[in-house]
Amino acid sequence: MERIRKYIQEERLDTKSRKRQLVYQRFYLYKYLRHMYGNSLEWIGQEFGRGHDTVIHGLKEFEKYKDDSLFLEYTQQVRSLFPIGEEVYGTSHSLLMYQILAKQNERILVI
């Protein structure tokens, strides 16, 4: 979480700026924090100095723009630092995921 907080501050994502690049990065991080950690909407909003309703709107906008070429361009850096879902494949995250699943399957087979 410290890495995410640092990124938010360095990129000034906690400001009131409505520059498209910053807005798209916020949308992406809303989704990342919700998907990867299951954080509450209120908690996510507080990290950005916003309310839960703004996070709800951002999550809806993320779904709308996630395949848009401009969105992908503006979020390239944040996506590489904090991958979600399919973007994780081929990285150390996927290896960890497979190790956890293998251990769970071993327990099931032993019982």
- Percent of the chain predicted with pLDDT > 70: 77
pLDDT at 99: 55
pLDDT at 91: 46
The total of other beta-carbon atoms located within 10 Å of residue 31's CB is 21
Domain range holding 19? 2-82
Q: Does some domain include residue 91?
A: no
Q: Does some domain include residue 87?
A: no
Kindly report the pTM of this predicted structure: 0.75
27: tokens are 């949308």
Task: Find the radius of gyration of the CA atoms of the chain.
Answer: 16
Q: Does some domain include residue 50?
A: yes
H-helix or E-strand spanning residue 5: helix 2-10
Q: Does some domain include residue 66?
A: yes
Q: What is the CATH number of the domain that holds 26?
A: 1.10.1750
Q: Does some domain include residue 59?
A: yes
Mean pLDDT, 10 residues at a time, over the chain (111 residues)? 92 95 97 92 95 96 96 95 68 53 57 48
Burial letters for 50-68: b for 16+ Cβ neighbours within 10 Å, e otherwise?
beeebbeebbebbeebeee
Q: Does some domain include residue 109?
A: no
Residues in the chain: 111
* CA nearest to 64, candidates 11, 91, 97, 24: 24
Q: Does some domain include residue 92?
A: no
